[in-house]
Amino acid sequence: SQQWLSAALLRAEHCVRSFDTGTSVASMLWAVAAQRCAPPGAWMEHFLAQVQRRLHVCNLQALANIGWALATLRYRPCPAWTAAFVRAVLRRFREGARSSSLQPPGSAGLLIPVHNSSSSRGRQWGQGQLGLLAGSSSSSSS
């Protein structure tokens, strides 16, 4: 019912100020989107302002949930918010690439295993699997 939705959104708006993790805000936005309700624009602007203040503590899963929720709600944030969100996603991808054996292969949008990221053989394997022989971030001489 509309009354229940209004009460839930009001409570969520109040609670978001006390959330200290990116997972908390992402989960709340995900839950709203999963209900397929369309919050008023003012509610979304306030909630996304709170999300933006926590982007620096969001992990990739939380960022993916935020992106999914926005797409599901068909809500387009302002350009400044979107730029901050994209910077947070890119920062987490870079951090993940440095700390794991998975490397993002440029614009392909897929993660592939690179057994030894410092070897040109590993880079060549990854590029060959995806047909990314041009545009590599590091050049290798064969």
The residues with which 113 forms a beta bridge, in sequence order, are 102
d(Cα 18, Cα 25) in Å, to the nearest integer?
10
Mean predicted confidence (pLDDT) in 94-122? 49
pLDDT tens digits along 83-96? 999 999 999 988 87
pLDDT tens digits along 17-66? 777 778 888 888 898 898 888 888 988 998 999 899 999 999 999 999 99
Q: What is the pTM of this model?
A: 0.64
* Strand blocks (E) in the chain: 102-103, 112-113
